[in-house]
Amino acid sequence: MTRVLGAVVAVTALVLSAGCSDDSGDDAGSGNNSGDKPTTLEKVTYLTGASILGREAYVYQAIEKGYFKDAGFEVEVQAGKGTNANLALLQSGKVDFAVLDITAALIEYGKGTFKDFTIVNAVQQRNLQCIMALEGSGITTPKDLAGKKIAYLPGGVARALFPAYAKLAGIDESKIQWINIPLEQHPQNLASGTVQAATQFAVGKPGIEKAANGKKAVVLPYTDYLTDLYGVGVGVTKKAASENPDRIRRFNEALLKGLNDAINNPAEAGKAYAKYQKIQPEVVAAAENTLMVPYVKSGSVAVGTLDQQRVARNIAIIQGAGLIPTAIKPEDAVSFDLLPKS
């Protein structure tokens, strides 16, 4: 995902006693395989994709429902700054789990910029990257972007993929003026007319329209032309994955339970988000989770699943676009064996 310039927001997930079973013994048990709930919680840091917007509500669902506690974790949520910055923090050991745009992460691996990470799930089966504008901006099709000012985040996958998207969509990229603006400021800048379009996530439409006082958003998805791209997933270091794979599976399973709850009950997800965050109102967070449903669910594919052949096609697309010099193997950057057991 993209980079977001701004202050990191940290939210510590407190272990709630109400409605939870009594597992407050003193024995350490976060790594036991006896089937009992862990008695000592491991504190871990989880980095969101970019800022902490409503689409990230699933992590708070997992906290609220006690899924992380049952798995043996106390989770601190921090605001991410996009895939490049998140990879840097992950590899430095400053965070344990980081949300990454899978396509962007594959690009960084293929370029050799970042190598010490592995992706352990796919939060979204389809990529959310898009260009968004407002009605009345003169933009209704991709070709209309020529001659316009577009807000973007340096280092973000939306900007990196744009030349490939532009070529397929027939956009004259040489006529575009790119404006560097933090992600959370895109809605206000679109509403004010400072820019005519912005690199965005498709599920960010409710927030854009709220900032524009109800004016409808025009969404130009990259997936209209760049098919087979995954959305975001969670990454860990290769060392963490190899030294204690059970730990990664337990965290992964708890997080994906929260994701499943969020898309099955977006209103509840909005409440969970609003309890911990004030960046977006509850109603906008709920709307974002409603829009997330077709991106998270894909036919009979299980939530969070990564398919090796699809990852290979994802790699082929970015190599064909000239974003990586040579092909890489799916298993180089993805741990298919660390998905939760069904």
How high is the pLDDT of residue 14? 34
pLDDT digits (tens, 9 = 90+) for 186-241: 999 999 999 999 999 899 899 899 899 889 999 999 999 988 899 999 999 999 99
pTM, two decimals, is: 0.82
**Looking at residue 72, what DSSP letter applies?**
T
The sign of the CA dihedral 113, 115, 121, 125 is: positive
Q: Is 100 helix (H, G, I), strand (E, B) or coil?
A: strand
How many other CB atoms are found less than 10 A from the CB of residue 77?
Answer: 21
Q: Which residues pair with 151 in a beta bridge?
A: 179, 198
Domains, the chain, ordered by start: 10-125+230-338 (3.40.190.10), 129-224 (3.40.190.10)
Cα 270 to Cα 60: distance, rounded to the nearest angstrom: 10
CB-facing half-sphere around the CA of 44: CA atoms within 13 A: 26
Positions in the chain whose pLDDT score sits under 50? 1-34
How many other CB atoms are found less than 10 A from the CB of residue 19?
Answer: 8
How high is the pLDDT of residue 144? 96
pLDDT digits (tens, 9 = 90+) for 36-81: 566 799 999 999 998 899 999 999 999 999 999 999 999 999 999 8
Cα 152 to Cα 307: distance, rounded to the nearest angstrom: 30
Per-residue buried b or exposed e for 224-240, using 16+ beta carbons within 10 Å of the residue's own CB: ebbebbbbbbbbbbeeb
Nearest-5° Cα angle at 319, 316 to 322: 150
